[in-house]
Amino acid sequence: MSLDDGVYLVRLARRAIEEYISKNVKIEPDKGVDKKLLKNGMAFVTIDRVVGPQQKKLRGCIGFLQPVSSLVRVVIESAIAAATEDPRFPPLRPDELNTIVIEVSVLSTPVPIKKPSDVIVGKHGIIVSRGWHTGTLLPQVPVEYCWDAETFLAEGCLKAGLEPDCWLDTKTRIFVYESKVFYEETPRGTVKERALEQEFKQRCGLA
């Protein structure tokens, strides 16, 4: 997944959100898009509201953990859902479009871990599952909060609706995945790729 691919996907997510919020139109994938982006894929779209210099607040985040459709269509659907269906927030309003930044995370296939110590902060996102309970946290989440691996796992348990030490229970299944994360620096601005492991070391005083 190249930077050019990431730029395209972030711009696509932005366009999907703006067309839906302002015109109630669900866009279709572009004709002539790179074939690799037409393969089934998994992605999350995160919307943050800019509240000050270097300050953002989450405004919505939804995605797909199964490759149910082409990557471009998954990004379109995730973008619209993040803007309108995240139960933590009211639907995005047209007057907010100039104050948000978009982030697209393209995920690898989740794989089960053999032991909790296999989880690497800055590299892995996690899926915690037991019975009917399941929850995921993207790789950038522990980076932004400077969590260690055990805190990451505990927060993943809580996200799944389980007790925070559920990761110690052998009945709990834990999967990890990696992601390529592309983001707007400013609303409709330059798109860059996040280097999460390096960001974790610098942000959290580990460099």
pLDDT value for 30? 86
- Assigned CATH for 111-175: 3.30.1490.150
pLDDT at 206 over 80: no
pLDDT by residue (tens digit) across 62-75?
Answer: 999 999 999 999 99
Q: Which long-range contacts (CB under 8 A, 24 or more apart) does 139-147 make?
A: 139/105, 139/177, 139/178, 139/179, 139/181, 139/196, 140/103, 140/105, 140/179, 140/181, 140/194, 140/196, 142/200, 143/196, 143/199, 143/200, 143/203, 143/204, 144/203, 146/200, 146/203, 146/204, 147/121
pLDDT value for 191? 98
Per-residue tokens: 149:
């691996």
- Assigned CATH for 3-107+180-195: 3.30.700.20
pLDDT value for 158? 98
pLDDT value for 117? 92
pLDDT value for 207? 57
What's the DSSP call for residue 111?
A: E
- From CA 198, how far away is CA 163, in angstroms rounded? 31
- Within 13 Å of residue 170, how many CA atoms lie on the same side as its CB? 0
- From CA 104, how far away is CA 113, in angstroms rounded? 25
Q: Does residue 51 contact residue 20 with C-beta atoms inside 8 Å?
A: no
pLDDT value for 162? 97
Q: Does residue 17 contact residue 86 with C-beta atoms inside 8 Å?
A: no
Q: Does residue 16 contact residue 22 with C-beta atoms inside 8 Å?
A: no
Q: What is the signed CA dihedral for 163, 172, 69, 41, rounded to 10 degrees?
A: 100
**Measured between alpha carbons, how far is residue 207 from residues 120, 141, 151 in Å?**
16, 19, 20
pLDDT value for 10? 98
Which pLDDT band holds residue 144 (cuts at 50, 70, 90)? very high
The mean pLDDT value for 108-131 works out to: 95
The mean pLDDT value for 174-203 works out to: 95
Would you list the domain boundaries of the chain? Answer: 3-107+180-195, 111-175
pLDDT by residue (tens digit) across 26-73?
Answer: 999 888 899 999 999 999 999 999 988 888 999 999 999 999 999 999
Centroid of chain to Cα 140 = 8
Which pLDDT band holds residue 205 (cuts at 50, 70, 90)? confident
The pTM is what?
Answer: 0.94
- Mean pLDDT, the chain, as a whole number? 95
